[in-house]
Amino acid sequence: MSSPLEVAARPSDAEVQDMLAKAVRLYAERAMEAEQALAPFPPETPMTATEVMVTVTAMLKAVNLQVFELGMWQAWSGR
Predicted TM-score of the model (pTM)? 0.78
Q: What is the pLDDT of residue 34?
A: 87
d(CA 3, CA 9): 10
Q: What is the pLDDT of residue 3?
A: 62
Consecutive 10-residue averages of pLDDT for the chain (79 residues): 69 96 96 89 93 96 94 86
